Chains A and B, each alone.
Chain A
């Protein structure tokens, strides 16, 4: 879907300080070379398979299907990857690329901590220094992940500026990158930021739909009727959609976080309430006020608590190729509990947003229809927060 110079329709681009321009140009050149380099690709494949545990399973959720009484539901088990989420797909690719570029240090932002943990993991494996920026609020909400990153040898820097959440962690990582470029690669965690990041991250996550397509053809002899994934910045969603984009029969459905509802200010459903803007290096859709101030968004899910969306999603939305729906905290928590009880799988609260929409959609579809849900991560990290949401006094 990418067009020339890192644009997706009107979206994308490189809206960054001049100080970073040569760094992103150098990154783009390196990526253009290594993506076609068989040695790089085979090294990456080995890491993904032997270290991260790919290919991930496509699991037929039989009990859930029977219980909902409609479409057959398959779960793409990204939660079974090493480090417990799809984030590792991108991080192994970028860390390997950084290594090839001669970088010795990775910096990253993290919301829920999954991308930070994945980056710290890859850095440990590949002998790279690692610094992770995390909103102060999130270091409290996800204290266990902070410990994990430190255990893996990374330095975690709590960010206190702005709303002290994911967007501020991105801003701070960008600021840090402008002060130290020579030895440092900014390992961005989603399909956002300046070109070439939305393309690089998309390509590394596209392994999800590449496998899903083949697995589905093998199991069912046909493509699914719809693919569902949660959307914050949108990396697992674009990964799950990518190899189905040309298949017009496959509905692509992104599930954003409505928080307390899209009619309240406490929401992060960018494509429902946002409008076009320029922020964090890209032209895309953002939650903002009438004067262009970025809105302090909210979701129970730290990983979806971001005021923007990747430029390729904004484009797919404009073209009508993908649909985007908004799922409230309450719906997501119900799905979190439902999947745990019904299939014995505790999903990440982010992924539970996609599960929630599957629960709404499946009963409206015939029994021979097929839904594929990207289960982007596992939910162990969320148990304490969800228990508190349900009124239990549980702390990690």
Chain B
């Protein structure tokens, strides 16, 4: 069992997403530490990409702000290395295929593993294309985290059987972003995953922002992922976002505990 899987043991996991370098890396590091101290069980660090096709407006803007600040993948590796001196919860990278491929998949994963990253999420790499990345991840002890969507239907079993770390259950059609309502039958989705692979934790993401939504999702799943709601707080509070984000994470974690 990987360290990521262990993060789901004995309790529901709260997973927080943050775009690195928005507004700068110093602020990112501060927010990550605050989220860890406030009860986050796992943190997804977004490496910004110029054209993030799976993101809604909030995270798109965060990507643009970070890139405008001149952030690079190498600087993010450095930040992770320094975070690892005092942060012990699992950290995963969430980015797009080209960021990894263009850097050199092998070199990227070697640097990521050395810095202390334990998982990789690439929303534009489906099951059919994961051979480009998953074997190299395995060689470096990094979990390649797969996604399932409301449209996955007959694909769920195939994806779940080979899932590593946790399975990212996309709650809604469309892109990332806060939603008033989640209409997908998450309970059914999770049941299909369990029957194909009882050991893989399921975390639900896309659209979740309120403690009520998190509580509802946690009834069915092993964890809840929040991205846009956190990124929006960072957008509002900029460099001083750590306190607001910490308070938010604490409330969300309590809601699912």
A294 to B67, CA, bound (A): 11
Q: Return chain B residues, CB-CB under 8 Å to A16.
A: 124, 126
Count chain B CB atoms within 10 A of each CB in A5, A13, A283, A293 and give the residue with the most. A293
* Docked complex: A219-276 residues within 8 A CB-CB of B: 275-276
Contact of A100 with B by CB under 8 A: no
A275 to B125, CA, bound (A): 19
Contacting pair A21 B102 (CB below 8 A): no
Contact of A292 with B by CB under 8 A: yes
| A1-45 near B? 1/0 per residue, CB < 8 Å | 000010000000111111111110000000000000000000000
Contacting pair A17 B124 (CB below 8 A): yes
Answer whether A18 and B126 are a contact pair too, CB < 8 Å, given A178-B173, A180-B173, A277-B102: yes
Contact of A215 with B by CB under 8 A: no
Contact of B129 with A by CB under 8 A: yes
| A146-185 near B? 1/0 per residue, CB < 8 Å | 0000000000000001100001100100110011110000
Contact of A278 with B by CB under 8 A: yes
Contact of A288 with B by CB under 8 A: yes
**A279 nearest in chain B by CB position:** B98
A395 to B79, CA, bound (A): 51
Count chain A CB atoms within 10 A of each CB in B103, B124, B132, B175 and give the residue with the most. B124
| A183-227 near B? 1/0 per residue, CB < 8 Å | 000000000000000000000000000000000000000000000
Contacting pair B151 A21 (CB below 8 A): yes
Contacting pair A278 B126 (CB below 8 A): no
Smallest beta-carbon distance A290→chain B, Å: 8
Q: Return chain A residues, CB-CB under 8 Å to B101.
A: 276-278, 283, 292
A15 to B127, CA, bound (A): 10
Chain B interface residue count, Cβ-Cβ cutoff 8 angstroms:
43
Contacting pair A21 B174 (CB below 8 A): no
Contacting pair B174 A178 (CB below 8 A): yes
Contact of A286 with B by CB under 8 A: yes
Contacting pair A294 B50 (CB below 8 A): yes
A204 to B112, CA, bound (A): 44
Q: Return chain A residues, CB-CB under 8 Å to B175.
A: 175, 178-179
A23 to B54, CA, bound (A): 16
Contacting pair A22 B152 (CB below 8 A): yes
Contacting pair B51 A167 (CB below 8 A): yes
Q: Return chain A residues, CB-CB under 8 Å to B153.
A: 22
Contact of A103 with B by CB under 8 A: no
Contacting pair B123 A17 (CB below 8 A): yes
A276 to B150, CA, bound (A): 32
Tell me the total A-B contact number using a CB cutoff of 8 A.
Answer: 120
**A22 nearest in chain B by CB position:** B151
Contacting pair B98 A17 (CB below 8 A): no
Contacting pair A286 B98 (CB below 8 A): yes
Contact of A280 with B by CB under 8 A: yes
Smallest beta-carbon distance A194→chain B, Å: 9
Smallest beta-carbon distance B107→chain A, Å: 12
Smallest beta-carbon distance A281→chain B, Å: 8
**B104 nearest in chain A by CB position:** A292
Contact of B148 with A by CB under 8 A: yes
Contacting pair A161 B173 (CB below 8 A): no
Q: Return chain B residues, CB-CB under 8 Å to A17.
A: 53-54, 123-124, 126, 147, 149, 170
Contacting pair B126 A14 (CB below 8 A): yes
Contacting pair B51 A179 (CB below 8 A): no
Contacting pair B152 A21 (CB below 8 A): yes
Smallest beta-carbon distance B61→chain A, Å: 9
Q: Return chain B residues, CB-CB under 8 Å to A286.
A: 98
Contacting pair A21 B53 (CB below 8 A): no
Count chain B CB atoms within 10 A of each CB in A14, A175, A179 and give the residue with the most. A175
**B95 nearest in chain A by CB position:** A292
Contacting pair B170 A18 (CB below 8 A): yes
**B128 nearest in chain A by CB position:** A14
Q: Return chain B residues, CB-CB under 8 Å to A5.
A: 128
Q: Return chain B residues, CB-CB under 8 Å to A23.
A: 151
Smallest beta-carbon distance B66→chain A, Å: 11
Q: Return chain B residues, CB-CB under 8 Å to A293.
A: 49-50, 67
Count chain B CB atoms within 10 A of each CB in A278, A281, A288 and give the residue with the most. A278
Q: Return chain A residues, CB-CB under 8 Å to B128.
A: 5, 13-14, 21
Smallest beta-carbon distance A158→chain B, Å: 14
Out of B51, B147, B151, B173, name the residue touching A168 (CB < 8 Å): B51
Smallest beta-carbon distance B21→chain A, Å: 12
**B67 nearest in chain A by CB position:** A293
Out of A14, A19, A168, A294, name the residue touching B98 (CB < 8 Å): A294
Contacting pair B149 A162 (CB below 8 A): no
* Docked complex: B199-238 residues within 8 A CB-CB of A: none
Contact of B136 with A by CB under 8 A: no
**B108 nearest in chain A by CB position:** A292
Contact of B2 with A by CB under 8 A: no
Contact of B73 with A by CB under 8 A: yes
**B100 nearest in chain A by CB position:** A292
Answer whether A288 and B98 are a contact pair too, CB < 8 Å, given A19-B170, A178-B174, A278-B124: yes
Answer whether A19 and B151 are a contact pair too, CB < 8 Å, given A14-B126, A175-B175, A294-B50: yes
A304 to B198, CA, bound (A): 50
Contact of B99 with A by CB under 8 A: yes
Q: Return chain B residues, CB-CB under 8 Å to A276.
A: 101
Binding site for A on B (CB under 8 A): 49-51, 53-54, 56-57, 60, 64, 67, 72-74, 96-103, 123-129, 132, 146-153, 155, 159, 170, 173-175
Question: Would you list 18 pairs from A and B whose C-beta atoms are within 8 A, ordered by A residue?
Answer: A13-B128, A14-B126, A17-B53, A18-B151, A18-B170, A19-B170, A21-B155, A162-B51, A162-B64, A168-B51, A181-B151, A278-B97, A279-B51, A288-B98, A291-B72, A291-B73, A291-B102, A291-B103
Interchain residue pairs A-B with the least CB separation, the first 10: A292-B102, A179-B174, A19-B149, A278-B97, A293-B50, A292-B98, A18-B149, A294-B50, A18-B147, A277-B98
